[in-house]
Amino acid sequence: MSIVVTGATGNLGRHVVEQLLEKVPADQVTAVVRNPEKATGFAERGVRIATADYNTPASFEGLFAAGDKVLLISGNEFDKGRVGQHQVVIDAAKAAGVALLAYTSAPGSLTAALADDHRGTEKALTESDLPYALLRNGWYHENYTENLAPVLQYDAVTHAAGEGRVSSASRADYAAAAVAVLTGEGHENKTYELGGDIAWSFAEYAAELSRQTGREITDNAVSVEAFAGILTGAGLPEPLAAILAGVDASIEKGELVIDSGDLSRLTGRPTTPLAEAISTALKS
């Protein structure tokens, strides 16, 4: 039996594998990657490395074994039919008879286009008759704190979320929830709505940035259309810019406020405060 993590060298996957190694022997962990060179560090620590690609169904044949617990981390290739990519993993997991397939989804309250592929994958998974766990991850702190350069360049937090609030948490928090499910019992056919303990507004985000930098960072709320144009002007493809702007529209509606408490319950600790994530980013 192995705990298998797809996308294991991605931003979230790395956190998951690192935290698994704190709980189980390395030879019980399988990291699924597209480029094994990026997983050299894991291999040196005894993690099994499997090379597979969501776009190549044959690469998943025989990868899983009966009794495995699998974490399917959603793909980030928005233009390549993510539901079809995820179906490849679901089919291979069903053929092998895995004990649990956990999937990193999006909040059930989210209606933005970003959620469409997640809802499609959830449908495929729940109809597969596999034991599943839906990890409906909210927004990540790092979606903002890893992109501070333009904020600090213009001394402004630009968004299209109005006075909406976000229950974000760190990638490490969401990884800890996944690890709890993968190493624990009783999570079959459960859905978890995951988000940070404290929701914040962009005005509060700007104020915290101001406090930590000693500069006056303004809260620059714009329309969804204007925000999409700004993102496109910054080099994002138009479809992706529209998706991200659509998320801000959902934030304004309150769709990324998650008050279930599932994340802190699964991890057994409070979620990482946004202020801490900002501090870490400013020091890096």
CA distances from residue 83 to 78, 86, 185, 204, 241 in whole angstroms, order as listed: 10, 5, 27, 36, 20
pLDDT digits (tens, 9 = 90+) for 161-220: 999 999 999 999 999 999 999 999 999 999 999 999 999 999 999 999 999 999 999 999
Measured CA to CA in angstroms, residue 134 lies from 130, 191, 224 at distances of: 12, 5, 30
In this prediction, residue 262 carries a pLDDT of: 98
> Is pLDDT of 86 > 70?
yes
Residue-wise pLDDT tens digits, 117-165 = 999 999 999 999 999 999 999 999 999 999 999 999 999 999 999 999 9
Question: Tokens 């189980």 identify what position?
Answer: 24
Q: Does residue 92 surpass a pLDDT of 70? A: yes
Q: Taking 90 as the threshold, does the pLDDT of residue 70 lie above it?
A: yes
* Cα–Cα distance, 132 to 134 (Å, whole number): 7
- Spatial separation of the C-alpha atoms in residues 65 and 203, rounded to whole Å: 49
Position 125, amino acid: L
> What pLDDT digit, counting tens, does each position of 223-235 carry?
999 999 999 999 9
Domains of the chain listed by start with CATH number: 3-137+170-194+259-269 (3.40.50.720)
Q: How far apart are CA 114 and CA 74, in angstroms?
A: 12
Distance CA 39, CA 157 (A): 35
